[in-house]
């Protein structure tokens, strides 16, 4: 067998990527799906559309390079995490659109639970502070607001899944016996899983009033779970599941404690492997599961999650019409020397790490008549770099490890201006590997390991190669001035909503 396939169900698009043994891309199918914004702060996806796109991108990836079924050793799934869908297992129909991780509709429930139990109570058990981000409260919202779901859930007919579970169920037969499973990394993002036992926590489910029977079985991240029933890849073993940020950690081969990566996509997510140790965060990070290979102990990670990174570039394109394509932002930002005093705090979904302020909202600060489109484009890119510095400083505090260089990946790392500014702002080298589709690659690795396509982690380490390194060039005074401006701006975004 020559290949391993990977389905990457992201926030913006769904891809199927087929890799060879060296971790090179052989073929890609990709399709964007609609972003649905019914009200300010609400973000939804149509799960039916995503399922159709998944079949289409698998077919595209196979047909475009004429890849035979018998050449595919296994398939892995990686996905946008936390996004919650509830569907009926007898009809296959979803009760409501998938509620996306960025959605803030459960803000009031977060406030109420913070008063009744305290955020620390949830963080101690799940590694996650109370926030609108995680799946549990999104499931509760569907149960409380959509007619008939709670009754069906109690009967065992309405079931929950993140996008991994939803696709796994459909790919393995759907209403005809589809598997209802997830992996430890995805489960660790629901705020319903106990980090130590890696099992659902009945008390947390009771507090959120979620029937346990609607939750999927928790499995390791790498194992032959079943076989694909859909025609597009019939008979191929489904053998890996990883949340997309954990998949990028695996794809970047960060297998040693202390190794970290930062992925710049819709949001931006830095993860540091902490080995088999659960490291609680005091500095505003999440403690989460990194991965669990079959018959191996669970590995954990510290994570700094930033909700809006590339999404701000999309906003500039789609909502403001200031650029035509995301890539145009670099040329526009290069029309000026600096940010002209403007700072853009993209707290569109509140602020995640290290602030965790659900009530923050976006602001542009420091405006004068001098500021033009170029300065705004620059402020948009700089926002991602400042947020990454906030997270890196928290990571160093929590781990006690000084990060001496940063491995990066994701759609935004083609932006050279951003990469140089990032290195300047962190004062460490930023390293881009040859393969930046590390998310899909990580899920392929998990699946390939389970079927023996790759023998062990050493095989994978050999596939990693450097493409480009950016070294810090900025003068200390300039770095300090800019970051001080950011810290001032970010405070202006706090406590906007009640
Ligand atoms: N040249 C660029 N400069 C800045 N941002 C970019 C550039 N190219 C793409 N992006 C942004 O990267 C994101 C897509 O990255 P990707 O890793 O595919 O995201 P996801 O996995 O979250 O769907 C989009 O938000 C897009 O606006
Ligand atoms: O779809 P991405 O790559 O923006 O990732 C989304 C994250 O998994 C959300 O936690």
Rounded to whole angstroms, the Cα distance separating 329 from 144 reads 42
Tell me: the pLDDT tens digits for 183-230?
Answer: 999 999 999 999 999 999 999 999 999 999 999 999 999 999 999 999
> How close is the Cα of 286 to the center of ligand 2, in Å?
15
Rounded to whole angstroms, the Cα distance separating 295 from 275 reads 15
At residue 359, the pLDDT reads: 87
Strand pairing class (158-161; 85-88): antiparallel
Please indicate whether residue 229, judged by its CB atom, sits closer than 6 Å to ligand 1.
no
Cβ(225)–Cβ(241) below 8 Å: yes
Tell me: the pLDDT tens digits for 134-143?
Answer: 999 999 999 9
Tell me: the pLDDT tens digits for 12-30?
Answer: 999 999 999 999 999 999 9
> How close is the Cα of 31 to the center of ligand 1, in Å?
14
Residue 498 scores a pLDDT above 80:
no
Q: Which long-range contacts (CB under 8 A, 24 or more apart) does 117-121 make?
A: 117/207, 119/356
User: Which of 35, 80, 348 maximizes ligand 2 atoms within 8 Å of its Cβ, making it the mutation to test the pocket?
Assistant: 80
> How close is the Cα of 419 to the center of ligand 1, in Å?
13
Q: 350: which strand partners?
A: 348
At residue 50, the pLDDT reads: 98
Say what angle helices 244-251 and 438-450 make with each other, to 10 degrees. Answer: 80
Please indicate whether residue 103, judged by its CB atom, sits closer than 6 Å to ligand 2.
no
Tell me: the pLDDT tens digits for 311-330?
Answer: 999 999 999 999 999 999 99
Please indicate whether residue 10, judged by its CB atom, sits closer than 6 Å to ligand 1.
yes
Q: How many CB atoms lie within 10 A of CB 346?
A: 25
Label residue 483 by pLDDT band (50, 70, 90).
very high
Strand pairing class (286-291; 466-470): unpaired
The mean per-residue pLDDT over the stretch 31-58 comes to: 96
| Ligand number with the minimum distance to the CA of 328 | 1
Rounded to whole angstroms, the Cα distance separating 223 from 241 reads 9
The mean per-residue pLDDT over the stretch 481-486 comes to: 98
Which is the closest atom of ligand 2 to the Cα of 11? 1
Residue 1 scores a pLDDT above 90:
no
User: What is the chain's mean pLDDT, rounded?
Assistant: 95
Residue 394 scores a pLDDT above 90:
yes
Please indicate whether residue 244, judged by its CB atom, sits closer than 6 Å to ligand 2.
yes
Please indicate whether residue 313, judged by its CB atom, sits closer than 6 Å to ligand 1.
yes
Q: 129: which strand partners?
A: none
Cβ(323)–Cβ(459) below 8 Å: no
| Ligand number with the minimum distance to the CA of 417 | 1
ipTM of the complex: 0.97
Please indicate whether residue 310, judged by its CB atom, sits closer than 6 Å to ligand 1.
yes
At residue 496, the pLDDT reads: 92
Nearest CA to ligand 2 atom 10: 81
Residue 444 scores a pLDDT above 90:
yes
At residue 382, the pLDDT reads: 98
Tell me: the pLDDT tens digits for 395-433?
Answer: 999 989 888 889 999 999 999 999 999 999 999 999 999
């Amino acid at each position: 067998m020559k290949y391993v396939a990977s389905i990457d169900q992201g926030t913006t698009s769904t891809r199927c990527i087929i890799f060879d043994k060296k971790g090179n891309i052989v073929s890609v199918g990709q399709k964007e799906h609609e972003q649905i914004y019914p009200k300010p702060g609400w973000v939804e996806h149509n799960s039916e559309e995503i399922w159709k796109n998944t079949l289409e991108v698998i077919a595209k990836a196979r047909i475009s390079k004429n890849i035979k079924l018998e050449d595919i050793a296994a398939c892995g799934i990686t996905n946008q995490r936390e996004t919650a869908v509830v569907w009926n297992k007898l009809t296959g129909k979803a009760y409501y659109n998938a509620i996306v991780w960025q959605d803030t509709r459960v803000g009031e429930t977060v406030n109420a639970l913070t008063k009744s139990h305290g955020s620390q109570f949830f963080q101690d058990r799940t590694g996650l502070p109370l926030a609108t981000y995680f799946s549990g409260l999104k499931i509760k919202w569907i149960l409380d607001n959509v007619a008939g779901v709670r009754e069906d859930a109690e009967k065992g007919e309405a079931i929950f899944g993140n996008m991994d579970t939803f696709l796994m169920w459909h790919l393995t037969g759907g209403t005809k016996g589809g598997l209802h499973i997830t992996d430890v990394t995805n489960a660790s993002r629901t705020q319903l899983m106990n980090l130590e036992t890696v099992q659902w926590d009945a008390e947390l489910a009771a507090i959120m009033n979620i029937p346990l029977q609607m939750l999927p079985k928790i499995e390791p991240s790498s194992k032959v779970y079943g076989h694909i029933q859909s025609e597009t890849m019939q008979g191929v073993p489904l053998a890996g599941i990883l949340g997309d940020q954990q998949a990028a950690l695996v794809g970047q081969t960060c297998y040693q404690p202390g190794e970290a990566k930062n992925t710049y996509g819709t949001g931006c997510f830095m993860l540091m492997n902490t080995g088999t140790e659960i490291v609680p965060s005091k500095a505003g990070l999440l403690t989460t599961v990194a991965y669990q290979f079959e018959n191996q102990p669970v590995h954990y990670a510290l994570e700094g999650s930033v909700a809006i990174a590339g999404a701000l570039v999309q906003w500039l394109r789609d909502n403001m019409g200031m650029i035509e394509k995301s890539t145009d932002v670099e040329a526009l930002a290069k029309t000026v020397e600096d940010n002209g005093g403007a700072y853009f705090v993209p707290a569109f979904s509140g602020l995640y790490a290290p602030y965790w302020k659900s009530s923050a909202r976006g602001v542009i600060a420091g405006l004068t008549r001098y500021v033009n489109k170029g300065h705004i484009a620059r402020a948009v890119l700089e926002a991602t770099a400042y947020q990454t510095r906030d997270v890196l400083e928290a990571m160093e505090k929590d781990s006690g490890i000084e990060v001496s260089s940063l491995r990066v990946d994701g759609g935004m790392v083609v932006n050279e201006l951003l990469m140089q500014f990032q290195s300047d702002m962190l004062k460490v080298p930023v390293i881009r590997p040859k393969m930046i589709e590390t998310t899909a690659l990580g899920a392929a690795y998990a699946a390939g390991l389970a079927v023996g396509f790759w023998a062990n982690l050493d095989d994978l380490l050999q596939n990693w190669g450097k493409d480009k390194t950016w070294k810090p060039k900025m003068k200390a005074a300039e770095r300090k001035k800019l970051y001080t401006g950011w810290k001032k701006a970010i405070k202006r975004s706090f406590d906007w909503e009640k």
